Amino acid sequence: MTRLFNNPAAFADEALEGFAAAHRRLVRRVPGGVVRATATAPGQVAVVVGGGSGHYPAFSGLVGQGLAHGAAVGNVFASPSAQQVHQVARAAQSGGGVLLAFGNYAGDVLHFGQAAERLTAEGVPCATLAVTDDVSSAAAGESQKRRGVAGDLAVFKTAAAAAEAGLPLAEVVRLARLANARTRSFGIAFSGCTLPGADAPLFTVPAGRMAVGLGIHGEPGLAERPVPSADEAAELLVSTLLHELPEGVESPRGQRAGVILNGLGSVKYEELFVVYRQVARLLAEAGVETVDPEVGELVTSFDMAGVSLTLFWLTDELEPLWTAPADAPAYRKGTVAPVAADEPSTTGEAPEAADPDPVENTAVPEASEPSRAAARTALAALGAIEATVRAHADELGRIDAVAGDGDHGIGMRRGSEAAHAAGRGALERGAGAGTLLHHAADAWADRAGGTSGALWGVILRALGTALGDTERPDAHAVSVGVDAAADGVMRLGKAETGDKTMVDALVPFADALSDAVGGGAPLAAAWDTAATAADAAAEATAGLLPRLGRARPHAEKSLGTPDAGAVSLALIVRAVHGALSGSTA
């Protein structure tokens, strides 16, 4: 379990601060993550990687010469926000464009995609790549749905070495995609991991059993088997990966492969070497020649007791990129040529302790007095949301851990706290209801990260747009804003009712609110009716099987447990009703 921490919600920030302080020769802190502390050649493509905290050495430990130019680092098991990704990419780029590379998880796809759109609009050429190496998370015919695990390293290394060689963005992207298509990973675990502040692991495995096909976010395995010997574990890992060869590889015999035997947190190096001894033998018997194998902790999951195997099937153009030298805090290979320190790292300034408020310097437009009065009610609602999320954070995490990664409570707490603080700052500067909610939306999305962070940013922004800064908001305007929020969430998250997501509570809430307002009910009464509908709909998600997100590969495990996102939405709209009932605005 994670024993040393302060405030669990601050764990990711404090860990990154300490990491940057420990490796100032190689990396420097920037808002959103870290970038190289060494100079990058003008015109070189910048490879920016990223994902949630809890996976060290991924992602910050892979920043350095020959590897990534920067890493955007999110909350524990949650993607960095689009704002964080954008800030890191701007700091890392040197005129040759940017490749954003990340594991294939919904929150990462959303936030890295939004950052790419913003960079492109600013004139910075940008491409994205989601790594999809985990064979257990989807069938071979649906490889685009597979998650990224330890194969991240093979793809990141390929892309970065291609960039270091001076290749243009299009070539870097092509080679990275080729590496992804030729990388396969598979893992097993003997126990789950425990998040900072939690009193139990995200999943448990019965004594004498192991989980097969696990994820790196504490997701439980897809099946269980008796605990094997080290040799039997090696045979399972190798046989599974040799069973599915990439396109163009007819037989393993005569092939060359990069190999990664990865410890997930609690399996010690000596144990890994015992397993690798048999992995090497089995691959040799199959006619595979291993090239620069890596054995150790490379993509972890806190204290998970598990191991994964990755095979990176090389070609003549991929092999030199896999074997190229690199010098990063957690990954060194060969000898890199000395490079001068980057200018910002010579200033003597201390690493930044936290990212700045993304809206603190945004101008606040003029607002009418009725709108400012409504802004006070909106701030009271944000305060009620923060208090409710704080009170239920542990329970939300427990629900999320049944088939997901257990980070929902922490992410919602970070987001709601940031939204309330941003709203308070906006109100102090005279903001109307619309601007206050826009500031809260940006703060929530930036601070929480992850899928839920992006979606709550959409919800608050839609409400703010509907309320505006001039008119006195009425029940109709609020209903219009909630309808727009539901449409925006479905458009961005690609979810529909029945997918076992937040949408299953949000759409019934929006429909009930619209019906009640249309029938002439005042806002507080209409909201009460709609909140009751949301609560019933959230409870009903217990009978659904997830069709999207990290819970999808573990659909059967979630049956009987409601969706954490739907539950949190129902709790929030009920808390907001209290603020509306006590308001005269």
Annotated active-site positions, please? 217
Pairing relation of β-strands 223-226 and 209-212?
Answer: antiparallel
- Residue 144's CB is within 10 A of a number of other CB atoms, namely 9
50: left (phi over 0), alpha (psi -120 to 50) or beta: left
Q: Which two tokens stand for residue 456?
A: 């709550």
CA distances to 117, 304, 451, 452, 487 from 458, in Å:
16, 34, 11, 10, 10
Closest CA to 458 of 477, 486, 479, 480: 486
Closest CA to 416 of 370, 379, 448, 455: 448
Number of H helices, E strands in the chain: 17, 14
218: left (phi over 0), alpha (psi -120 to 50) or beta: left
- Residue 147's CB is within 10 A of a number of other CB atoms, namely 26
DSSP calls for 2-54? ----S-GGGHHHHHHHHHHHHTTTTEEEETTEEEESB---TTPPEEEEEEEES
Q: Which residues pair with 76 in a beta bridge?
A: 53
Closest CA to 386 of 581, 571, 580, 523: 571
| 363-386 b/e (C-beta count within 10 Å ≥ 16 → b) | ebeebeebbbbbbbbbbbbbbbbb
Q: What are the E-state strand segments in 54-149?
A: 70-76, 98-103, 126-131
- How far is 560 from 203, CA to CA, in rounded Å? 16
* Triad 499, 500, 501: Cα angle to 5°: 100
* Triad 488, 489, 490: Cα angle to 5°: 90
